[in-house]
């Protein structure tokens, strides 16, 4: 039997938004899904909460965060796409990167659980 906790799942979805309230909703959606992934026995990587923001004093550019996110994704077995990911340029890059690197791509928690 596979130990699910050893399976790293990258949570991908909308993040950036010029409206603080919408950005907060995107982060909350990702953290809620991460909790579900953890509760299902897997290990979640949640880039939405990984990097400090400009308001925290971080001077990194968006491209640097995306480069770091793709590095994290390389260490994962799969990626879980949140609803609406198709509207996010960053999530599209992550999806394509996962596909190019033959990572498992999931579109729901149920699909992830059924696969393991």
Does the pTM surpass 0.85? The reply is: yes
Q: Please give the Cα distance from 36 to 60 (Å, whole number).
A: 30
Quick one: pLDDT at residue 1? 66
**Model confidence pLDDT, tens digit, residues 78-116:** 999 999 999 999 999 999 999 999 999 999 999 999 999
- Match domain 4-115 to its CATH number in 3.40.50.10400, 1.20.1090.10, 2.40.30.110, 3.10.450.40: 3.40.50.10400
| pLDDT: which is higher, 116 or 50 | 116
Q: Please give the Cα distance from 70 to 75 (Å, whole number).
A: 9
Quick one: pLDDT at residue 21? 87
């Amino acid at each position: 039997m596979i130990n699910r906790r050893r399976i790293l799942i990258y949570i991908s979805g909308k993040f950036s938004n010029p409206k603080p309230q919408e950005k907060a909703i995107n982060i909350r959606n990702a953290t809620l899904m991460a909790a579900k992934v953890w509760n299902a026995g897997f290990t979640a990587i949640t880039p939405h909460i990984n990097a400090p923001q400009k308001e925290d004093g971080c001077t990194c550019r968006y491209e640097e965060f995306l480069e770091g996110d793709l590095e994290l994704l390389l260490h994962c077995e799969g990626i879980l796409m949140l609803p609406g990911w198709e509207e996010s340029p960053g999530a599209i890059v992550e999806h394509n990167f996962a596909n190019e690197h033959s990572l498992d791509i999931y579109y729901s928690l149920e699909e992830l659980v059924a696969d393991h």
